[in-house]
Amino acid sequence: MNTYTRRGFLGLTSAAAAGLGLSACTGGGTSTSGSGDATGAASNNLRLFTYEADETIGLLRAQVKKFDQQNGTTTSVDSLPGSGAAVYPDKLRTELLGGKGPDVWRIWGGQIGAPFAKAKQALDLGPYYSEFGWDSSINQQAIDGMTFEGFKAGVPFVSLGLGAWYNKSLFAKAGVSSPPTTYAELEAVNDKLVAVGVTPLGTGGKYGWHVMRLFEYLLEHTAGPELHDKLLTGDESWDRPEVVEAFALFKKWQDKKWMPEGALGLDPADIEPAYVQGTTAYTICGQWTEAGAILAAKKNPAGFGNFELPTDQQPARHSGFVEGYMINAKSGNADKSAALIDFLVKPETQKALQITASTVKGAEPDPKTLPLSAEWGQKYGDNPFYTIQDQAFPKKQADQYFSVQSDLLQGKTTPEAAAKKMQEIVSAWAKG
Amino acid sequence: MATVALTKPAKPKRGGKWSPWLFALPALVVYVAFLVYPALSSLWFSLTDWDGLSATYNFVGLDNYVKLPSDPVVATAVRNNVIWTVVTIAFPTAIGLALAVALNGKVHGKPVLRLIFYTPAVLPLVSIASIWGWLYNPQYGAINSFLRLIGLDGLAQPWLGQDSTALWAVMVPAIWLRTGFPMLLYLAALQGIPKELYEAATVDGATRWQQFWQVTMPSLRPAHYIVLALSLIDSFKVFDMIYAMTYGGPGTATQVMGTWMYANVFQYYQAGYGTAIAVVITLVAIAVGIPYVRSQTREAS
């Protein structure tokens, strides 16, 4: 009778495993990863991946069902709401690498969507732009936000501007009768709110990007449009007085309790809607808050308002970004996916979806159902915007930037040192 | 009545010498496909500059490993891993043992108490993270509210919002949820200790404290081995609590090797560098774990 030793058994196992592993790793220099390049088989089954909020996912599912009924398709809709750009792209990327990526996915523009275009995971939608006439039906500036080095990787359907959304009763409690029109007035409003025991700005730094909205506004205020844009592209040094001043103001907002105590540890999902609940006076966000926070809480929009944060600069700008749909380059259903996107960006579909900042001509928000979003669009919709900073930088540099913010707010670094550190981060990226 | 022992004639073995391998084959295939192969793939990718998304990459040798020591976040992550491992092994083990000893005696409502102490271990981690996130809320959280209520306003902190307390604040719920498991193991082991040992010790005049150290603790040695080995593995792979409660922040203050590996592979499009971190985590876990397991195995045998 043969005897088998554990050592021998494991040795053979290892050899077999090594053989398998090495067989997948043959070839030096430039190689092809194991993820495969095969295009999926055509079928009538589509999958749409999004980060639609719980409050509005039902609207999307209803419209997708309508598309299915018209086209004989079966489309499943998966959503990962709540985490913002911090988690959703990771999950999408994992699905794509696993070979089971969605046919269509929603994504932000700028540096969040760019890697999917660069890696050719997203299909070139140029031919579909021609076929469906998206160039003429969708805002051109928004299209530019999802075009990467001439590669039209996405169809933007949302172009959002960030402003201050406030609780009118809390402003009234502090004796503030109208929104501020200068930065000095905004600081005065903050002081009045604090004096009556109300935290002015509801912001949370858990992921970095929410508290960033305050700093980017302060930078627009101190640097002005032209310099701000050059800073974001690395064409000007961050190690300069305007940036130092912005960091100093940032710290001032915390020291004067104009943002919540311990803001760095707060989750944006908890703190952003606090102005609706009445625990903070305002927050910095986009039009989605009307459907997602005010209407979802069954509150009357008349009790709230919005205003563009005053920069004291010309032209007056606000932070903004686009979101849109991409098609999986490996989808076997590219034509049907494009047809689905075309259906979703029809003006009537956009209205049914209650898109509060549609890029589609003829789909402006309805003042009856979304009065505050309509008001924002009328007042500030035509104002230019600067690229929101977590889309201006790749994720790694954005996280480094958030670390600088964190150190500054904790008093571990000075505004001067923060400006120098930012220059190191941005120049290393720009050179790369 | 007499019984007759019948001896069956020996039949030739089916499959002959390959029988053991055939029995092992299903498990072997699963092991190779889902553990060995991915591990070797990761080892290979750690020698490349793969971004984790593109179809192509380049072989870069040991570059990713050379870069590790100069990455300041790696230093923070290693330090946090060490602190996490020591604290989340020591406290749950000690508390679990104390609870087990307490519950092993005559205690009213013993089943209910066991359930209460073990319940955190079966709760979803994301729920735990959310619950403790609310408890730690600097303005409205129960912890700061309680401190203010009893006049300790000065101790109220933004627990998760500052570098000095964030890691410790995450370790508290980790200890809370990890105490139930050692408690159950110790409880089972305690019930297996013969009462005669305690009776003999009592006759010899040993106090309860002396009985604990001279009878209970030596008898629990196999349980110690299981608890510590499993805790060590659990602590090394820490990821979920940090990710859910602080996302590695503020800044990078609570990054551990697991979260930093995840950030590089899945968020920064540096899969080569991230898998190099994963390889290092594995090697360290092996280096620390194997001597301990060997020494305990020798002792147990």
Instruction: Decide if B267 and A4 are in contact by the 8 Å CB cutoff.
Output: no
If you measure CA to CA, which chain A residue comes closest to B46? Answer: A25
- A315 Cβ contact list (under 8 Å, min separation 6): A225, A383, A384
Residues of A in Cβ contact (< 8 Å) with B250: 205, 264-265, 406, 410
Smallest CA–CA distance, residue A118 to chain B, in Å, is 8
Residue A149 in tokens: 């080095």
Give the chain B residue whose CA is nearest to the CA of A199: B139
CATH of the domain at A171: 3.40.190.10
Q: Identify the H or E element spanning B147.
A: helix B142-149
Residue found by looking up tokens 């409880």 in the block: B187
Mutate to test the interface with A, among B21, B42, B70, B137 (most CBs of A within 10 A): B137
In a domain, A242, yes or no: yes
Task: Count CB-CB contacts under 10 A for residue B297.
Answer: 11
Q: A7 lies in a domain?
A: no
Per-residue buried b or exposed e for A160-199, using 16+ beta carbons within 10 Å of the residue's own CB: bbbbbbbbeebbebbebeebbeebeebbebbebbbeeebb
- Looking at the structure, tell me whether residues A168 and A265 fall in a common domain: yes
Q: What pLDDT sits at residue A97? A: 83
Is residue B1 very low, low, confident or very high in pLDDT (cuts 50, 70, 90)? very low
Task: Please state, in angstroms and rounded to a whole number, the distance separating the CA atoms of residues B15 and B171.
Answer: 54
Query: pLDDT band at residue A384, thresholds of 50, 70 and 90?
Result: confident
Instruction: Please indicate, yes or no, if residue A212 is contained in any of the structural domains.
Output: yes
CA distance A65 to chain B (A): 31
The pLDDT tens digits of the residues spanning A231-249 come to 998 999 999 999 999 999 9
Residue indicated by tokens 């750009």:
A85
Among A20, A97, A270, the residue with its CB nearest the CB of B37 is: A20
Q: What is the mean pLDDT of residues B232-258?
A: 91
Average pLDDT over residues B271-279: 95
> For position A201, what pLDDT does the model report?
98
- pLDDT for position B65: 97
Q: Look at residue A350 in the predicted model and tell me its pLDDT.
A: 94
Are A274 and A410 within one domain? yes
ipTM of the complex model: 0.80
Range of the domain at A173: 163-285+393-431
Same structural domain, A131 and A278: no
Backbone dihedral angles phi then psi of residue A167, each to the nearest 5 degrees:
-95, 115
Q: Where are the beta strands (DSSP E) in A202-259?
A: none
Residue A89 pLDDT exceeds 50 = yes
**Would A377 be classed as within a structural domain?**
no
**Cβ of B36 and A207 within 8 Å?**
no
- The token pair at B97 is 């043992």
pLDDT digits (tens, 9 = 90+) for A366-377: 888 889 999 998
Q: Do A59 and A122 belong together in one domain? A: yes
Cα distances (Å, whole numbers) of residue A34 to A115, A324, B44, B50, B54 = 19, 29, 11, 11, 10
Please tell me which residue of chain A has the smallest CA distance to B39: A21
- Chain A segment 53-82 residues within 8 A of B by beta carbon are none
Q: What is the mean pLDDT of residues A169-198?
A: 97
Contact A205/B at CB under 8 A: yes
Please give the pLDDT value at position B8.
60
Residue B7: its pLDDT value, please? 58
Q: Is A375 or A383 the better-scoring residue by pLDDT?
A: A375
pLDDT at B231: 86
Q: What is the pLDDT of residues B50-79, one digit of tens each?
A: 988 888 899 999 999 999 999 999 999 999
Distance (Å, whole) CA A327 – CA A106: 9
Say yes or no: A399 contacts chain B, CB-CB below 8 A. Answer: yes
User: Domains in chain B, start-ordered, CATH in brackets?
Assistant: 47-300 (1.10.3720.10)
What confidence tens digit (pLDDT) does each residue in A23-37 have?
333 333 344 343 444
Tell me which of A111 and B117 has the higher pLDDT: B117
Indicate if the pLDDT at residue A382 is higher than 70: yes
In 3D space, the residue among B171, B159, B119 whose CA is nearest the CA of residue B135 turns out to be: B159
Higher pLDDT, B236 or B296: B236
Q: Are A167 and A153 in the same domain? A: no
**Confidence (pLDDT) at B214:** 93
Per-residue confidence at A85, pLDDT binned at 50, 70, 90?
Answer: low
- CB pairs A-B closer than 8 Å: 157
Cis peptide before B250 (omega within 30 of 0): yes
Q: According to the model, what pLDDT value does residue B9 have?
A: 60
Q: Are residues A278 and A418 in the same domain?
A: yes
pLDDT tens, position by position, A126-165: 999 999 999 999 988 889 889 988 899 999 999 889 999 9
- Mean pLDDT (whole number) for B128-147: 92
| Gap between the Cα atoms of A27 and A405, Å rounded | 44
Q: With an 8 Å Cβ cutoff, are B250 and A399 in contact?
A: no
Report if residue A106 sits inside a domain: yes
CA distances from A3 to B12, B13, B22 (A): 17, 15, 15
A395, B268 Cβ separation under 8 angstroms? yes
In a domain, A296, yes or no: no
Query: Which of residues 230 through 249 in chain B touch A, CB cutoff 8 A?
Result: 246-247, 249
Number of domains in chain A: 2
Residues B257, B177: Cα–Cα separation, whole Å: 21
The pLDDT confidence band at residue A20, using thresholds 50, 70 and 90, is: very low
Judged by CB atoms closer than 8 Å, whether chains meet at A9 and B162 is answered as no
Tokens 């606090």 label which residue?
A274
Q: Within 13 Å, how many C-alpha atoms sit on residue B145's CB side?
A: 8
A332 inside domain: yes
Shortest distance, CA B146 to any CA of chain A (angstroms): 17
pLDDT of residue A32: 39
- What confidence score (pLDDT) does residue B235 get? 85
pLDDT at position B64? 97
Reply yes or no on whether the pLDDT at A39 is more than 80: no
Spatial separation of the C-alpha atoms in residues A101 and A78, rounded to whole Å: 11
Indicate if the pLDDT at residue B27 is higher than 90: yes
Angle at A396 (CA atoms; ends A390, A398), nearest 5 degrees = 30
Across all residues in chain B, what is the average pLDDT? 89
Residue B219 in contact with partner chain A when CB distance is under 8 A: no
Residue B230 tokens, joined: 């499993």
Minimum distance, in Å, between the CA of residue B36 and any CA atom of chain A: 6
Residues A281 and A400 placed together within one structural domain of the fold? yes
Residue B56 to residue A265, Cβ atoms within 8 A: no
- Mean pLDDT (whole number) for B9-14: 60
Contacts (Cβ under 8 Å, ≥6 apart) of A127: none
Per-residue tokens: A133: 């006439």
Helix (H, G, I), strand (E, B) or coil at A244: helix
Distance CA A266, CA B133 (A): 8
Residues of B in contact with A14 (CB under 8 A): 36
B86 touches chain A (CB under 8 A): no
Structure tokens at B139: 């303005």
Residues 112-171 of B with CB under 8 A from A: 133-134, 136-140, 157-163, 166
CA triple B225-B231-B236, angle to 5 deg: 130
- Residue A37 and residue B269: Cβ atoms within 8 Å? no
Is the domain of A101 the same as that of A204? no
**In this complex, which of B37, B58, B161 lies closest to A29 when CB atoms are compared?**
B58
**Based on the domain organization, do A279 and A400 belong to the same domain?**
yes
**Rounded distance between C-alpha atoms, residue B79 and residue A363, angstroms:** 54
Same domain, residue pair A104 and A149: yes
Q: With a cut of 90, say whether residue B95 has pLDDT above it.
A: yes
In a domain, A127, yes or no: yes
Please check whether residues A217 and A273 belong to one and the same domain: yes
Tokens of B244: 């859910």
pLDDT at residue number A86: 66
Residues A410, B59: C-beta atoms closer than 8 Å: no
Instruction: Tell me which residue of A170, A181, A193, A137 sits closest to A347, measured CA to CA.
Output: A137
- Same structural domain for residues A397 and A281? yes
Segment 12-41 of chain B within 8 Å of chain A by CB: 17, 20, 24, 28, 31-32, 36-37, 40-41
Nearest CA in chain B to A85: B267
Per DSSP, the three-state class of A161 is strand
State yes or no: pLDDT of A301 exceeds 70.
yes
- The answer to whether residue B87 scores a pLDDT higher than 90 is yes
Q: How far is B189 from chain A (nearest CA, A)?
A: 30
pLDDT at residue A313 is higher than 50:
yes
Minimum-distance CB partner of B56 among A31, A260, A266: A31
Looking at residue B296, its pLDDT comes to: 67
Q: Indicate the pairing of strand A318-327 with strand A385-387.
A: parallel
- pLDDT score recorded for residue B58: 94
Instruction: Tell which of A352, A368, A384 closes a domain.
Output: A368
What pLDDT does residue B285 have? 82
